[in-house]
Structures are given as C-alpha cells and as structure tokens.
Amino acid sequence: MPVTIETEELVYRNHPADNGAGPLWTYGSPLLARLDSDVLVSTIETDRNVPGFCNTRWQIRRCTASGWSIWRQGDQADQREPCPIGAFPDGTIWLSTNPNADPRRPKYARCTPQLLRFSPAGQMQTFQPPWPLDAVFTDHSYRGMAVDPDAQSVLLLNIDAKEGCYHYALLNDRLEWSALGILRFPIRACYPNLAIRGRSAHVLAIGDIVEPNEAWRAAKHERSGRQWDYVFRRLFYAWTPDIERVPFCEPLEIDNLDATCGYLRNGDVYLTDLNAAHLVFYRQSCQYDFIRDRFFPGLPLERSLEYALVRDGRIAQRRTILKSDDRSELIGLGDGPRLHATPDGHLRLVALITHGDSDRPQHHLRLQPLWPQPADPQNILLTQPIHLFQTNTPRGGSAAGLTLDLYGGGNDPQDLVYARLRLP
C-alpha cells in the first residue's frame, strides 16, 4: 500500500539571529512532539534589538484542527539555541531552556540551564537542576534532552564550557532530581541524541573539535578564508543500565574518519530493549573534494547511511544501508537519517535523498524497513524537501504510530515547514 501525504505546510518564517545557531541547531534532541491529534514544535523568535548571542525568545507552536498558533512563549529574548521539547500522554509538556544569566555580556555569557514543565492545564513550573557549583554553562550549551513517558522521567545533558564534559540530571516521576553526574568522552562531543527507558540511558554524540591537522587546516583556510574550522570525524556512544545507580560506561567509538579527513553526523537512537540501542548516522569518506584531490588523490568520495545495533555496550550488528560515490546518480543522502517506529514494533529509516545533478536535483523522502527484517525502500516525492528534519520520536515522548510528522527547513532558508504522512 502507498504512503499518503496528508499535508505539507509552512509553520512560520524565521528571521536570522546571526548568533551562530539557528532554529534547528539542537538537531540531536527533539524539537517536535505529538500528543494524540495535536503536534507541538519548539521554535524561536529573533529580537534584533537584543545584542549578542542570546537574542531569541523560545516559543512553543501547536498545530490543532484549526492550524498553527503560538501556544506559549518566553517573556524575553534570552536564548541562543532552540529549546528541546518533550511530552507525556497526559498532556504534560517539557521544555529545556538555557537563559542568559549575565545580559551585560553579549557573547559567551554564563547561562542557567533549566527545565520548564507545563501541566495539562497549562500552568508553567520551573525546575532548576542542582548543578555542581563549579560547572561552567554558557550560551553554547550543546545540550540534550529525552523523556520516558512510561517512567514519567526527563533526562538533561549540558556541556561544561570549560572542561568539555557533560553534566547530566534526571528528574523522576516524583519531580525530584534522582541522578546527577558527569559524562566524559575522549574528546569534546556535541549535539547528542539521548534515549531513556526506565533507568537505562543512552547517548550518541559526535566529536566536535578544532581541526588538529595543521596541513588540512591551512588548506581549508586558504580555500574559505574562515578562521572557524571545527571537524566532526569521531562518533561516540555511551550508556548506563541504571542511571540512578551506575555511572555511564566508558564511551564506545562507533566510527572514526580521522585518517581521511572525513565527516560523520549522528542521526538517531531508538531503544527496543533496556540494553539494545539502534543507531543510524551519516558517513562521508572525505569532508571536501578539494581536500581529497590534494591529500588523497584517487580516494573515492563515498557517502553512506549507516546502521548499528549496540547491545550491552557492544556493537552487535553493523551495516551500510545506502551508499553513493562520485559516479552515482545519488548526489545527496540528507542532513541526518532518522528512525520511525510503528505499533507492530517495526523500525524504518527516514532520510532525504537527492538524485540527478546539482543544477536540477530531485529530492525524495526515503522510507526503508530496517528492523527486525530489512526490506525494499519506498521513495516519497514531496512538494519541497525538508532539510535537517525532526520527527515524532519516542525520545520526545511521541508514541509509535502510523503517522509520520516531519518538521524542518524549506527551500527558503527562512522557512520552517511541516509535513504529515500516513504509513500503510
């Protein structure tokens, strides 16, 4: 049976904040949650009168039968990054915020990571995790959030700007902070995907450091003229079977492309068991073609979507889902693959695929069964592509279902768009 496209629509137009982030910046954490027939997305509003990085106001937009509207919003522009969102079936909504604590400092200001709770009746309550007194939190939070509706818990991660480690905090069903700790990766890792079930917690994060290879850094600066040069070449996973009792394990390196100046991007995490995490990510053999031509002549420029099953902290399965190279008609494999679960327990890959050539590209949404049994994909032609999209993931409290929600960037960089698909 075919997939039905029920709607494609504009959510809102965003004015650039020019603060180094954007409305989809926290791509590792959910910015969309489905509550029965309603959809909630976390958006930002730029205030051009506010100087510095923290110049956006958080907003929650809600889509009902009447269309999109602003359901709640902050009192002022005091955020740099969009705020991860989560929901419980009873209508409770959670928002991870990071307000500026020092408005006198326009850039790299100290911030106070918080958790907002909106009751089913709409009343707002602020929760302040008991972070360590020496923790250094700034407007570059690289934070993560996940919820578990069954356990009624919320997990937060926030990076320490000085140490490069993550501080984590778990709010339990009694609205108490029952787990606090530190998660360290071998290098600074950012944009984490978090997943929690019961007390089992899982994190997938991408290494994010300044280019360590002087020759590559010089070549990229020569081409771009840009001083900024961060690289994403090492992908890490960490887990704990009981976050209240057991620290996170030693991080497991899922992939490493340091040898060829490659590029990796974490996509999604889905839990089918307390100790089993399904991971998908994007892999590119070399970051830029000019780097390949100069330093690795003859190396195929390969792009692929990858899958791994990690069980009890060890890689149990790994396979390439889709691959393209210089000679392929596939010229793009999207901004990051996602996973979608259906009520029968099956898992599908969701990815934006681009065919043709750069002058006349054709974009398709690829839906491909992954687990428990791989199967042939379906390619869905949308009116316009949805870039860097978010879905109705269980990590944000959305239930497994036959409805697939997509929220992301449109063809116009200022457009934030939404599509709803009905799966067979």
Give the count of beta carbons closer than 10 Å to the beta carbon of residue 246.
15
How high is the pLDDT of residue 106? 86
Q: Which amino acid is at 195?
A: A
pLDDT tens-digit readout, 336-355:
899 999 999 999 999 999 88
Report the predicted TM-score, pTM, of the whole model to 2 decimal places.
0.96
Which positions ≥6 away from 71 have C-beta within 8 Å? 40, 60, 61, 62
How high is the pLDDT of residue 138? 98
- 113 touches 129 (CB < 8 A): yes
pLDDT tens-digit readout, 15-73:
999 999 999 999 999 999 999 999 999 999 999 999 999 999 999 999 998 999 999 99
DSSP 8-class letter at 162: T
Give the count of beta carbons closer than 10 Å to the beta carbon of residue 203.
29
On the CB side of 424, how many CA atoms lie within 13 Å of its CA?
7
The C-alpha atoms of residue 272 and residue 216 are separated, in whole angstroms, by 41
How high is the pLDDT of residue 331? 67
Topology of domain 4-422 in CATH is Methylamine Dehydrogenase; Chain H (2.130.10)
Q: Where are the domains of the chain?
A: 4-422
What are the residue ranges in the chain where pLDDT is below 50?
A: none
* Proportion of the chain above pLDDT 70, given as a percent: 99
How high is the pLDDT of residue 356? 73
Which positions ≥6 away from 342 have C-beta within 8 Å? 348, 400, 401, 402, 423
